[in-house]
Structure 1
Amino acid sequence: MDFQLPYYKGTLPLHVPERNLRHVLVNRAEDFRTDRPEADIVRDALAHPIGTPPLHALARGKEKILVITSDHTRSMPSGITMPILLEEIRKGQPDAQITILIGTGLHRPTTPEELLDRFGREIVEHEHIVVHNAFQAEEMRYVCELPSGASLSVNRLALESDLIVAEGFIEPHFFAGFSGGRKSILPAIASQETVNENHSARAIASPGAATGVLDGNPIHEDMAYAARKVGLAFILNVAMDAEKHIVAAFAGDCIEAHAKGCAFVFDMCGVDPVAADIVITTNSGYPLDQNLYQTPKGVSTAAACAKEGGVLILGASLCDGIGGTNFEKLMRLGSPEVIRKTIEAIPPKESIPEQWCAQIYANLLLRHPIIIVSQHMEGQELEHMGFLAAKTFDQALEMAFQLKGADASVTVIPDGVSVIVRKSKEVSHE
């Protein structure tokens, strides 16, 4: 069986002997089709908001309006959505002072080139755009204590605005359940201390902190509470197919509209697990595969379909390197057991940036050999962090056969980020 798997801005080939291939897991986004133009889908959602009046009605009489959007690490189709969103706001308040705030969370600042790529020249040159910086303490303002006991502080622009609107997209998220909705506040425009505590070792270790799970998820519960307290009044969230085209949109209340969108995405992305000795996946290509810090998303999906001790293979370009100073320091501490114990000993109030991805990787490495397929990062660098390294999927698969035997079974998940592996008492062996 021949595959072309997402890698950077293209694909890499994979060849799996038919006698070894157990299953190929793809969600319905792979063949989801709609004849409706993307802009029409967005406009229709704005015309039929869930749980709120229309955005143009909310905008009436408001002077300072804040529009929060995703940063460079997300495939948000803002070139389509943002002009329509701004048009809808100005329909109700033509003279509004609108600020577009890039919700970076703890990521590096979005560059001018990345802003142009995301929005186009018209918006970049004519709208007021601010890039959030969670590390500028003087720009943060305290709001309240969250249900977990964490302290919530956010960008002052949110508290100085008369109306807060956010755009985003909904996809599976490996510990928040789903992206979108309330995440436009926490972590997107929160202080580093708030993000760190929301992503504490205790929260990440919760059984509810998992892909596709909202009920009983302490990370989601803090995020939803934060969105209400800060006053996120209206969201526009989209769902996309495998080609990153908008196939559905949900607008209105930050909790109700988001819940509708999550139900749609769960139905579109859910698959039943098929256990295998070797599981091969990707981190969805660029931009999500640009650094190692982002990649636990795809690997976590692979692990949900692997037998105990099974080999996980992840394709990721890592063109932007490891992706975080603290993450790198933690990953270089030593064995996975050392990393896990070090992070679990950190109290929630003392959580440090990026510890959560190192925690997840440590837990995965304790259970599975992980082979990273990257043509940008040197294999020796990956090996220093406990991984095995390969330049191609075929090389990685040969290494996996050496570990598990020539008759080892293989499951392929072409896009590990877009798939929700449903929980079940017994793993399917179809």
Structure 2
Amino acid sequence: MKIDLLYGRNGISVNLPEAAEPTVINKPAFPPCPDATEQIATALTNPVAGADFKSLCQNRSSACILICDITRPVPNHLFLRPMIEGMIDAGIPKSEITVLIATGLHRPNLGEELAELVGDPWVLENVAVENHYALNDEDHIDLGTTKGRGVPVKLDRRLVDADLRIATGLVEPHFMAGYSGGRKVVAPGVAHHETIRTFHSARFMEDPAAKECNLVDNPLHEEQLEIVRMLGEIYALNTVIDEDRNLVFTSFGEIIESHLAAVEFVRAFTEIPVGRKFKTVVTSAAGYPLDQTYYQTVKGMVTPLDILAPDGTLIIASHCGEGVGSDHFRAAQERLVSMGPDAFLKSLLAKSFADVDEWQTEMQLKPMRAGKVVLYSEGLPESDFAVTGVERATDLKQAIADSIAMHADPEIAVIPEGPYVVPQARSAA
């Protein structure tokens, strides 16, 4: 049997060993939906909560639209121009409209990458498209601290000062905040590094409620909600896409309510009850653009843990064409490898602020505690692989065969879309 995994830009096909008895875990099919242009127009005209888009644009002097960075395949090319044209028609000067890339602590998106991200030359020609830089103190406004957990709240002044604020993004499972999109595009999206590094501290990361698909008592979600309420009036356009990157759902309106509407839609297609655990789980890091660094690959390791049997083997395919990731992440991985998982975690528990990108290394501790992690990657040279802390597979078929033999169990789980699907050991009943 041959299986296809999302991998890089073109995917990868794997011939399974003859002994394998696979359970392939995919999303159910999305229902038929209107074309993308119609979906967006309908969402903007019929908000989940608050006024419609045209009314919101009236009597505004400036606007800021947040978009996700290149690590999220958001269909920006579908909605940016109609939104900007609506703002201009309402009298907002082009010079006062900013598209702000919510990079968090990621690198900026520049040049050809910026053009790919925006997806529409008209946008780049008519309004300012700028990156958020979390390390630039002067770019942020201090809004105080949250009452819930004392998180320092500093946000990009281009958003705070705008007369009309709109966040846009993709709603999908997030291995820490429950679901991406909505409030998450604000914080950590355009937050100061102290805000982000507080979110990424062990105080939050080790909380059992800070996990994929969970918004109940999730400390990150609760703090994000408080932050957008501190900011004041803000709206959101939330999107859901299928495995072929087609737009299948759009919601618009007040940021909290419109995000929840998208979450309720997508749950039925991403939270997949499987009814059991497996000794061998084969997954991906969701292909381009998510699997371009090892940093992003960790997400694909965490998402399927509910169906990994104790001491099982997790095999993940990720292209990693850009290598490990940032220098900060490499430094954290080097500490993990040199100190070992237990000592590394102990060093984190004493910190109020996580080091930049250190949190992703902490997330890797979860699959390492659960079992053995095996990575197949054509993009990582040996010098980079040395800091991953996991085993390397040079042949996916052989890695699967070795796991079947080691566990004496031919039944394997295969998750072609990686972290876009969250398999759960519970039964459908």
Q: TM-score range by the shorter chain?
A: over 0.9
Whether 2:341 is the aligned partner of 1:340: answer: no
Q: Is the 8 A contact 1:56 1:90 kept in 2?
A: no
Deviation at 1:409, TM superposition (A): 2.4
For each residue in 1:365-418, what CA deviation from the matched residue of structure 2 results, as whole angstroms up to 9, or x when unmatched? Answer: 13211111100112464244321112342132234235434x342110111211
Choose which of 316, 319, 322 in structure 2 pairs with 1:320.
322
Deviation at 1:422, TM superposition (A): 3.8
Equivalents in 2 of 1:226, 1:304: separation in Å?
30
Equivalents in 1 of 2:350, 2:124: separation in Å?
44
Decide whether aligned partners of structure 1 residues 127 and 149 sit closer, same or farther in structure 2, where only a CA change above 3 A counts.
same
Choose which of 343, 361, 365 in structure 2 pairs with 1:362.
365
Which residue is equivalent to 2:310? 308
Amino acid at match of 1:412: V
Q: Higher mean Cα deviation, 186-195 or 296-305? A: 296-305
Equivalents in 2 of 1:91, 1:423: separation in Å?
51
Query: RMSD of aligned C-alpha atoms?
Result: 1.9
Q: Alignment partner of 1:289: what SS?
A: helix
Equivalents in 1 of 2:218, 2:310: separation in Å?
25
Give the 5 Å matches for 1:22-33: 22-28=22-28, 31-33=29-31
Give the 5 Å matches for 1:15-414: 15-17=15-17, 19-28=19-28, 31-95=29-93, 97-119=96-118, 120-146=120-146, 147-273=148-274, 274-333=276-335, 334=338, 335-346=340-351, 348=352, 350-379=353-382, 381-405=384-408, 407-414=409-416
Unaligned runs of 5+ in 1: none
Decide whether aligned partners of structure 1 residues 340 and 363 sit closer, same or farther in structure 2, where only a CA change above 3 A counts.
farther
Equivalents in 2 of 1:139, 1:380: separation in Å?
36
Equivalents in 2 of 1:33, 1:374: separation in Å?
34
Q: How many residues align?
A: 422
Decide whether aligned partners of structure 1 residues 187 and 384 sit closer, same or farther in structure 2, where only a CA change above 3 A counts.
closer
Equivalents in 2 of 1:319, 1:340: separation in Å?
28
Q: Is the 8 A contact 1:238 1:246 kept in 2?
A: yes
For each residue in 1:151-207, what CA deviation from the matched residue of structure 2 results, as whole angstroms up to 9, or x when unmatched? Answer: 000111122211111111101100100010001210110001100101211111111
Equivalents in 2 of 1:265, 1:368: separation in Å?
29
Q: Is the 8 A contact 2:62 2:92 kept in 1?
A: no
Taking structure 1 as the reference length, the TM-score comes to 0.93
Q: Higher mean Cα deviation, 393-402 or 64-73? A: 393-402
> Percent identical across equivalent pairs?
27
Deviation at 1:128, TM superposition (A): 0.9
Q: Is the 8 A contact 1:374 1:392 kept in 2?
A: no
Equivalents in 2 of 1:222, 1:93: separation in Å?
35
Deviation at 1:229, TM superposition (A): 1.5
Decide whether aligned partners of structure 1 residues 371 and 232 sit closer, same or farther in structure 2, where only a CA change above 3 A counts.
farther
Equivalents in 2 of 1:423, 1:394: separation in Å?
25
Q: Is the 8 A contact 2:174 2:211 kept in 1?
A: yes
Q: Alignment partner of 2:6: what SS?
A: strand
Equivalents in 1 of 2:343, 2:308: separation in Å?
24
Q: Is the 8 A contact 1:56 1:91 kept in 2?
A: no
Equivalents in 2 of 1:55, 1:21: separation in Å?
51
Q: Is the 8 A contact 2:151 2:198 kept in 1?
A: yes
Taking structure 2 as the reference length, the TM-score comes to 0.94
Q: Is the 8 A contact 2:304 2:423 kept in 1?
A: no
Q: Alignment partner of 2:124: what SS?
A: helix
Q: Alignment partner of 1:7: what SS?
A: coil
Q: Alignment partner of 1:133: what SS?
A: coil
Amino acid at match of 2:242: D
Equivalents in 2 of 1:197, 1:124: separation in Å?
34
Q: Alignment partner of 1:123: what SS?
A: helix
